[in-house]
Chains A and B, each alone.
Chain A
């Protein structure tokens, strides 16, 4: 009897705790923030610096394909802090050699420059709108470089499995939705790698309009790295596939290279031809 009692107590406790957990999830902004913060670090800040060669396939409703090939150099000033980016376009032919320099600050607007080799012009970019498309793809500039943690309220709303991965589900609601241009995003974040496996974007009317999905993860230099992902635009029936052709970490990028010289003289040891 005692045993039965204790079992039922345990069952009850489990039930309660399960219930509580669910309840806690519904309003758990603290763990939501932690999960989101871990994701930002794993996705946008892995290691101190990185060199990635990326190819993008942009496919429209008619099935017409546009391709981009670029190399990105990234350096973190501090984990979760300011970052410097250099982006060099290899393809398509008409933009080959064009490059961008982005100094990303958490506290103010980014500094952005573009270099047009045909006229040796270094041009300061005035666009502060982070929702513009990145290189004509379905990824926005913000998707590529990330939103600051404080710009959104992040709630842990549950746990779900995607294939073999156990994920936290986080609802991320912008504090100023009109500025952000969407009402909320839902993230499926892998518990082990902290990488996002799926992101649903909901427009200002609350309708799902864009879905991100990770398709392949590989561990490179002990760092779980997304090698392939797709962003689908449901309204326009378009999608963009991103494939990492090569990723290496801690290649020795120093902070003082991120200036005009980098645009005029692409660092061949990292960029190649």
Chain B
């Protein structure tokens, strides 16, 4: 069974649900699910175009329509008793960058129910999020769309849906999330078509020239990814323990370096986090850590696969008067078998630093009775002065209409740095949205 098949099955199930819903004509019109969503027009212009990607001058020009339907199948007593909900959300995208209309299929399509007073179940295509970071993810190993993030789409599109089953046990003292993901979904990483990037195979920034191929783990029972979170709140402090068993979501292993064949190596993550108020000073602090156990790396003796790392994140955010908020984060990634890693490198391989550090700053200020939001998010890596600025200014003109202008500005001179590699993709964008 492939992901396409899963998608087909989900669509068929929705169709059945819709038909049965319409068939149950006894339901008065007021109980029919209401359609919600938005239509949006987006444009993103490059400000420092390196002319390497497939289009010059812009990297976003699209119109999007989102449709959302929530349906409670109350006709069946047991489903009603379980507070069953079917949720469907889809995006129709007219993407002028790829010059083809793109039917995104369901973005979310799931059934959720509560079969026991202490247990919730959610099955289907769904967005999964946990962890304490702001744009920094250690224990949240669920798929992300970094291309959408960089070209200036709404934050919502940073998260990609997973085909998953989620089981949550809740109690007053602790809760447990168990997630099974039978179909692998990778991150959408820059591949040169829309976003130019540093390709180690060329040892420089490339665009459409890049010819990398990504191989996904096949869908087999044994390849099912598992994620778990045990969490609770004690005297205002939230604690959590995490476990992930699966694969890197970005292609960080080479199957064949000569032919540019990359894959998603096996990964286990063990982590923990705590979040809560700082006494006297006020504000909320968080700490999160994770051990990313790269299973195929053979203690860094395998130069073709990402080394295991320890990752740490410390954050602090505080609100001030008049809707002003500041958030700071310090993030460290430490390679665990650095000597072995260095010894494994061949001449010509680029060498990563043992410790990678990143600082982030978020400033948010609301004006005009919270209808105007001015915000900036900065990523800064001190070692190579690598900087990524995300300023934005949004205005809710009415309850339905909103407009945002913003930018994704990459500064830094190192071509192979995390953010510096995207300097030819820097952009300013605007999105106009009508919600209903």
Please report A residues at the B interface, Cβ cutoff 8 Å: 58, 60, 64, 66-67, 91-94, 96, 103, 108-109, 111, 118-122, 124-129, 131-133, 135-137, 181, 238, 256, 259-261, 264-265, 268-269, 273
Contact = CB atoms under 8 A, between A and B. Distances in A.
A126 B369 contact: no
A238 B368 CA distance: 12
B158 A109 contact: no
15 contacts: A66-B398, A67-B399, A91-B399, A93-B36, A119-B158, A126-B317, A127-B323, A129-B319, A133-B369, A136-B371, A259-B170, A259-B172, A259-B233, A264-B168, A269-B83
B127 A273 contact: no
Given A119-B159, A126-B325, A109 B369 contact: no
B4 interface: no
Nearest to B238: A124
Contacts of B436: 93
A128 B398 CA distance: 28
Nearest to B159: A119
Contact of B321 (A64, A108, A129, A259): A129
Contacts of B321: 129, 131, 181
Contacts of A136: 369-371
Contact of B175 (A91, A121, A259): A259
Given A119-B155, A120-B128, A133-B369, A93 B319 contact: no
Given A66-B399, A273-B72, A92 B435 contact: yes
Contact of B83 (A122, A127, A133, A268): A268
B399 A256 contact: no
Contact of B120 (A91, A127, A261): A261
B126 interface: yes
A270 to B, nearest CB: 11
Contacts of A108: 236, 277
A103 B235 CA distance: 11
B72 A119 contact: no
A232 to B, nearest CB: 14
B236 A119 contact: no
B283 A133 contact: no
B127 A94 contact: no
B217 interface: no
A128 B320 CA distance: 8
Contacts of B319: 125-129, 132
A137 to B, nearest CB: 8
Contact of B72 (A94, A125, A268): A268
Contacts of B132: 124
Contacts of A261: 120, 168, 170, 175
B190 interface: no
A132 B319 CA distance: 10
A125 B172 CA distance: 21
B231 interface: yes
Interface centre among B231, B283, B399 (most CB of A within 10 A): B399
Contacts of A91: 399
A2 to B, nearest CB: 68
Nearest to A181: B321
Which 9 pairs, one residue from A and one from B, show the smallest C-beta to C-beta distance? A127-B319, A92-B399, A94-B435, A136-B370, A126-B317, A93-B435, A120-B129, A126-B284, A256-B172
B72 A265 contact: no
A101 to B, nearest CB: 10
Nearest to A137: B369
Nearest to A124: B284
B328 to A, nearest CB: 11
Nearest to A121: B129
B327 interface: yes
Interface in B96-120: 112, 114, 120
Contacts of A93: 36-38, 399-400, 435-436
B223 interface: no
Given A93-B400, A268-B72, A111 B323 contact: no
B329 interface: no
Interface centre among A64, A131, A181, A260 (most CB of B within 10 A): A260
Contacts of B275: 124
Contacts of A133: 323, 369-370
Contact of A273 (B70, B114, B129, B284): B70
Interface in B169-192: 170-172, 175
B111 to A, nearest CB: 13
Nearest to A138: B369
A163 B36 CA distance: 44
A23 to B, nearest CB: 39
A118 B435 contact: no
B295 interface: no
A119 B325 CA distance: 21
Interface in B116-152: 120, 126-130, 132
A33 B3 CA distance: 66
B325 A94 contact: no
Interface in B264-319: 275, 277, 282-284, 286, 317-319
Nearest to A96: B36
Interface in B72-108: 72, 83, 85
A238 B402 CA distance: 21
Contacts of B170: 259, 261
A130 to B, nearest CB: 10
Contacts of A60: 369
B400 A119 contact: no
Contacts of A124: 132, 238, 275, 284, 286
Contacts of A264: 120, 168
Contacts of A67: 399
Nearest to A257: B170
A265 B156 contact: no
Given A92-B435, A124-B284, A273-B70, A265 B402 contact: no
Nearest to A256: B172
B420 to A, nearest CB: 28
A70 B400 CA distance: 17
B112 A265 contact: yes
Interface string B391-426: 000001011101000000000000000000000000
